């Protein structure tokens, strides 16, 4: 990891992302829209236009807990990430169609998303698990809610955030994939250890 820390502000431009590398830590200021399984399927499989403009924007694979106040406005209670890999089969086309620049979630994503990030100058970032209540404190205001018929977790919640993070870049615009690289590195380290274990406990076989 290079340890670089940067604040991205929406709308995000290509040049804002080009210098980022996997392992860099960024924070987001501006607009962050929760967008997960069903919203992806509506756009890609059903061809329904998203009711939110994501060009230059950021989405969060998350199913938040939201409270409606007496005046009708909404308050973010908890906003934790959901597993990004669930959106893998949609994300490349989603990025292409929407122009989204930052995709945030839990865990990494695969080769198709990496290809989409290269072709359309976008990045994927990991938000640490277990910090959902802390994340909610970075939401200054819920500015809009679309597709509420999907229920609270799948609604497109349009959030105004300030220095939302930390977000660890896991796929950069060059197509590098932090999770894949870490797996390869760990597997190489594992080989001699497993060999030694097998030699020491071969009597068990």
* Candidates 36, 40, 42, 121; catalytic one: 40
Residue corresponding to tokens 């329904």:
48
* Terminal CA-CA length for the chain: 40
**How many CB atoms are closer than 10 A to CB 180?**
17
Q: Which long-range contacts (CB under 8 A, 24 or more apart) does 140-149 make?
A: 142/66, 142/73, 142/74, 142/75, 142/76, 143/31, 144/52, 145/66, 145/74, 146/51, 146/52, 147/38, 147/39, 147/42, 147/51
Q: Is 61 a catalytic residue?
A: no
> Do 60 and 105 form a contact (C-beta atoms < 8 A)?
yes
Question: Which residues are known catalytic residues?
Answer: 40
């Amino acid at each position: 990891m290079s340890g670089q820390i940067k604040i991205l502000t929406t709308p995000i431009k290509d040049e804002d992302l080009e210098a980022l590398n996997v392992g860099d830590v960024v924070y987001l200021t501006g607009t962050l829209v929760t967008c997960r399984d069903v919203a992806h399927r509506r756009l890609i499989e059903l061809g329904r236009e998203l009711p939110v403009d994501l060009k230059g924007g950021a989405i969060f694979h998350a199913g938040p807990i939201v409270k409606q106040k007496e005046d009708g406005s909404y308050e973010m209670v908890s906003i934790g990430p959901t597993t990004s890999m669930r959106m893998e089969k949609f994300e490349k086309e989603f990025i292409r169609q929407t122009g989204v620049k930052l995709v945030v979630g839990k865990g990494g994503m695969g080769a198709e998303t990496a290809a989409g990030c290269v072709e359309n100058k976008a990045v994927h970032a990991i938000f640490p698990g277990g910090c959902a209540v802390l994340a909610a404190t970075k939401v200054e205001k819920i500015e809009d809610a679309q597709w509420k018929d999907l229920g609270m977790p799948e609604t497109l919640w349009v959030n105004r955030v300030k220095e939302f993070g930390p977000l660890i870049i896991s796929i950069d615009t060059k197509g590098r994939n932090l999770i894949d690289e870490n797996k390869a590195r760990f597997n190489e380290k594992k080989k001699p250890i497993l060999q030694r274990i097998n030699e020491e406990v071969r009597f068990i076989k």
